[in-house]
Homo-oligomer: A and B are copies of this chain.
Amino acid sequence: MLNFEFCAPTKFVFGRDGQHKVGQLVREFGGSRALIVYGGGSVVRSGLLAQVIASLDDAAVEHLELGGVKPNPRSDLVYEGIRLCKENGVDFVLPVGGGSAIDTAKAIADGACYDGDFWDFYCGRAKVVRALPHGCVLTIPAAGSEGSTSSVITQLDGNLKRGLNSDFHRPRFAVMNPELTFTLPRYQLACGITDMMAHIMERYFTNTPDVALTDRLAEALLCSIIEAAPVAMADSQDYESHATLMWAGMLAHNNSVGVGREQDWASHQIGHEISAKYDTAHGASLAVVFPAWMQYVCKHDVKRFVRFATKVWGIDPSGKTDEETALAGIAAMKAFFASIGMPQTLEQAGGKAEDIPALAAKVVNGKTGHFVELLPPQIEEVLRLTCEQK
């Protein structure tokens, strides 16, 4: 186990009707003028935005609105949000939505307290030392952004998708009402399921020895997600399965299963390039990249893949070589992703094989991954594996 620091101070308000507490929560964390950040019309149509506004009004919290966040959230809306905050004395940022709204809000909160370009933070030219407080109302279980330090933004100028981790990115509160996810299109839910599993697996595949405790916690989360996913996909009104997915999505990314371990993150980096180029949903990119990455790196530590296959996917190892067991686990995962409607190949995810060298060349810093370090030629090989239908 490696030395680590872990601080996850977000106040989670989990369960039915939490959105009616938003006003008092903003007040509790010092807000008096909030910028509500949201995406398309669904939070308007569902009546959630009106409920949030009513709660803010009840608590005498002033509010402005910034709608229009898109999946793979972009810099243009961040600039707009920063302008609104600065011009109106906003002291609290309140995303209502999924990871895209929350990540946008985090970037706005950073930029609102900074004289330069917020993109300085995302490309490493500056470090966040001050930010507006933010708290969220979650409507999509997946991103984990409600409990994590991370935010990922696409800079339109250059089509660069970059992530930034900062302690300032932990929301002060997160309202998590599973009922708010009932109206989610099932494809988006499936993307979320894939994304939360990926967050766990990025941490699971490690070279750090003596991490059985976090291994077991990761396996517990994955098994619970795999159990809840088909129930939630089949019945959009089933509270318990949606609740399990929502809470698991937070735990998958608040780093509670990642502490003390070297983590990989190559699949996320490669997936980000696919999403940035084709505007593929984040989860869909991961569904394509992760199995290919596993096939490519499996031999690096086949015992870990055997553990993954047996503990998470219930593969019976009897009569199989370690490599056969490992590959059976990867195949089971791929079949699971297919069963919830995720793409299986780069082409199905909207990509083209001919773009592979360009995609590989674009990955940040020219290398990625810690379980196995990948340079562009290896990234190309991983991407070629995403073109094969198995």
Contact = CB atoms under 8 A, between A and B. Distances in A.
Interface string A218-254: 0111011001100000000000100110011000000
A166 to B, nearest CB: 15
A134 to B, nearest CB: 16
Given A213-B220, A244-B213, A12 B16 contact: no
A259 B14 contact: yes
Contacts of A54: none
Contacts of A11: 5-7
Given A8-B8, A220-B220, A248 B13 contact: no
A299 interface: no
Chain A's interface size range is 35 or more
A1 B240 contact: yes
B9 A14 contact: no
A251 to B, nearest CB: 8
B1 A6 contact: no
Interface string A121-163: 0000000000000000000000000000000000000000000
A6 B14 contact: yes
Interface string A1-36: 111111111111111101000000000000000000
Contact of A5 (B8, B14, B210, B256): B14
Q: Report how many copies the assembly holds.
A: 2
Contacts of A83: none
Contacts of A244: 1, 210, 212-213
B243 A1 contact: yes
A243 B13 CA distance: 31
A303 interface: no
Interface string A304-331: 0000000000000000000000000000
Contacts of A224: 212-213, 216
Nearest to A247: B213
Contacts of A212: 224, 227, 244
Q: Which of A6, A8, A224, A228 has the most CB of B within 10 A?
A: A6
A224 to B, nearest CB: 4
A5 B13 contact: yes
A260 interface: yes
Given A212-B227, A244-B1, A6 B12 contact: yes
A294 interface: no
Interface of A: 1-16, 18, 209-210, 212-213, 216-217, 219-221, 223-224, 227-228, 240, 243-244, 247-248, 256, 259-260
The 10 tightest CB contacts between A and B, nearest first, are: A3-B15, A9-B9, A216-B220, A210-B240, A7-B11, A213-B224, A6-B12, A220-B220, A1-B243, A217-B220
